[in-house]
Amino acid sequence: MRQLSLLLALCTLAGCAGGYQLRPRLLASTEVARPIAWHEPVLAGDRADNGRWRNAVGSPLVIEASSAPASTDQLRLVSWNIALDRGDILRAVADLRVEGPHIPIVLLLQEAFRSGDDIPASPHAAAFAGFLGSSNTAREIDDVARTLGFSLYYVPSMRNGAPGRYREDRGNAILSSVPLDGFTAIELPFEHQRRVAVAADIRGTTSVGEPWRLTLATVHLDNIGSARRAWLGAEFGRTRQARGLREALRGDEPLVLGGDFNTWFGFADQAYLETARAYPQTRLTDRRRTFLGILRLDHVFYRLPDGWTAEVRRAEASYGSDHYPLIATITF
């Protein structure tokens, strides 16, 4: 069935297997308040679809905390699909601080959400996703950042619910206990829903004063195929998105990429294999399933300099989300 789905998808979209290339997109000053390097698909059809979804969401959000650059020999990175209002970020961070009170923490989050006047009330010719969560009682990602005193970089991928009923969007976010800069947004080839990966840099020094810099990226790939392929070929679509992301991040080193890749076939999924080839240093140290204890949908990849090490493990608790966090410890 998996092979048949891929074959049907390829037949339905003949010739587009290579259509994953991205290009820079110049942003108007009204679109963003801070400089952001933006990438978008080359294919006109992808750009048109993404544009309709973009019309329904608010602007990217940057919050700069007053924290200083880190002086440390380790970082704790967490990749986690927080399922909007279900993942208890504050409790997860508290547990990490018990493990290492002085180790900086960076969260690479998927399905973060934001509401308010920044979301268009009545967007024109817009597309949107179905409503997820029960966010009338939830903490928005900017509120969480302020509570923790963390820096935040958030870019919405899609509106959360229909205009006129809900005024929310959701997407990927980076929360960091150390300052963020070098902001990048990567609008992926369109499949079922608009997907925007985000990346940013952090900097610091080791305990002996040696400077370091690290690029961090987070992504959430589509979980099902598109209507134009009769909803088949989800793996094909994910692979196209993974290739686009791989090319956009080519040359960024050192780099850690975490996300919900929706790899229904786990470590054999083509989207996983395409990504892993670009991160040959990545070593699997914990193969446990991350989605409801059933599927391995979440992954962390890295490219690090000689002398740096990384260890990635699954958290023992899901903290209310339907995904378990993956926790990476980077040692300089």
Q: How far apart are CA 139 and CA 27, in angstroms?
A: 29
Q: How confident is the model at residue 134 (pLDDT cuts 50, 70, 90)?
A: low
- Residue keyed to tokens 């969007």: 169
Q: How confident is the model at residue 244 (pLDDT cuts 50, 70, 90)?
A: very high
- Mean pLDDT rounded to a whole number for the chain: 89
Predicted confidence (pLDDT) at residue 230 exceeds the cutoff of 60: no
Q: How confident is the model at residue 3 (pLDDT cuts 50, 70, 90)?
A: low
Using CB atoms within 10 Å of the CB of residue 12, give its burial: 0 to 12 exposed, 13 to 18 middle, 19+ buried.
middle
Contacts of 272 (CB under 8 A, 6+ apart): 242, 261, 263, 265, 266, 299
**CB atoms near residue 200 (< 10 Å):** 24
Dihedral of CA atoms 30, 35, 37, 43 in degrees, nearest 10, equals 0
Using CB atoms within 10 Å of the CB of residue 11, give its burial: 0 to 12 exposed, 13 to 18 middle, 19+ buried.
exposed
Whether domain 2-331 has CATH 3.40.50.10540: no
Q: How far apart are CA 93 and CA 111, in angstroms?
A: 17
Q: How confident is the model at residue 228 (pLDDT cuts 50, 70, 90)?
A: low
Q: How confident is the model at residue 65 (pLDDT cuts 50, 70, 90)?
A: confident
Classify 286 in phi/psi space as left (phi over 0), alpha (psi -120 to 50) or beta: beta
- Residue keyed to tokens 């391995």: 296
Q: How far apart are CA 102 and CA 74, in angstroms?
A: 9
Beta partners for residue 106, in sequence order: 77, 176
Predicted confidence (pLDDT) at residue 2 exceeds the cutoff of 70: no
Q: Name the helix (H) or strand (E) containing 287.
A: none
Q: Name the helix (H) or strand (E) containing 12.
A: helix 2-12
Q: What is the pLDDT of residues 143-169, one digit of tens each?
A: 999 999 999 999 999 999 888 888 999
